[in-house]
Structure 1
Amino acid sequence: MKRNSSDRMITHARTAAMALVALLLVVAGFWTSWDDAQHVLLSKGREHGTLRIESCDEEVCTGPYTPTGTAGARDEVTIERSVAVRKGETLTVVLRPGTGEAVRTGPAGGLFAWLPLGGALLLAALVIGGGMRLTRAAWVSAGVGGALLVAAFLAL
């Protein structure tokens, strides 16, 4: 049976809509990741040091900060609470400019910052494979997102 032009138009419209959804997912994941990743990747000129975790509540952990450069020590700096942050642990961190908020550095911190992008790539893989019928591209997206999540898990 021959497909008419309206069937092709609907197919192309569906593919375009799914491409937009997949793009939106990846851009949102990148944007969310970039909030922390910029401090890890572009850390030149920022305040570096170590943070010893003394207490944690539901959302953040706090502790004294010791700088590696000429900046002054701080009694209380906060870091986002995660499964990788434990009381008594000492972390290498970089401070967000103008705040008392720390972001973990090094390979573990870099991978942890990109976790939202990894999740977005996994979600986009479902849209790419199911909505756009591009199975190879979906497997690539899922593979990269899954590898990022596994690498972050192992690094932390």
Structure 2
Amino acid sequence: MASKRTQALLYARRAAMAGIAVLLLVAGVRSSWGAAQHVMLAKGREHGTMTVAACGSGTCTGPYVPDGPTARHPRVTIDKSVAAKKGVRIPVVLKPGTTEAVRAGAPGILHAWAPLGGSLLLAALVVAGGLRMTRLAWGAALTGGALLGGAFLAL
């Protein structure tokens, strides 16, 4: 009887750890998709160049010059972690209906998916420790680390 109870507890533990790992990955994708959709599915959105004029505690602002025949925006905002320093020109995509910009191109894609990289690193710990699947854990950790490192180097 104790053997069946032990087996049931082992299956419950594995199911709980798998659920936590999946929850971490879903949270990473969900938090990344908010910015990534504008960068990756940029067709039909306003493209242009932003010149960083001033930075506050969390955002930077500056004038926006569109690439095509769209409206010129005197001031757009972008996340401070994406903007380099004052006077730098950054290719951006505007979120529809707002003056909020996201960085365009490969650096923008890597920066947008950075939360997924962090969740991959956290999920790797759960997979290695809770599920005892070390190869899968190493793969997730290396993928997450590469994504975060690429985002750091691209920006």
Answering whether residue 45 of structure 2 is matched by residue 34 of structure 1, we say no
CA distance in 2 between partners of 1:66 and 1:15 (Å): 53
- Determine the structure 1 residue equivalent to 2:93: 94
Answering whether residue 47 of structure 2 is matched by residue 56 of structure 1, we say no
**Structure 1 unmatched runs, 5+:** none
- Determine the structure 1 residue equivalent to 2:145: 146
CA distance in 1 between partners of 2:108 and 2:75 (Å): 20
TM-score (norm 2): 0.97
- Determine the structure 2 residue equivalent to 1:78: 77
Structure 1 runs (4+) greater than 3 angstroms displaced = none
Task: Supply the AA of the counterpart residue of 1:10.
Answer: L
Deviation larger for 144-153 or 62-71: 144-153
RMSD of aligned C-alpha atoms? 1.0
TM-score (norm 1): 0.96
1:95-114 equivalences in 2 (<5 Å)? 95-114=94-113
Task: Supply the AA of the counterpart residue of 1:148.
Answer: L
Identity %: 56
SS of 1:4 mapped into structure 2: helix
CA distance in 2 between partners of 1:72 and 1:38 (Å): 22
Contact 2:60 2:83 in 1 (8 A): no
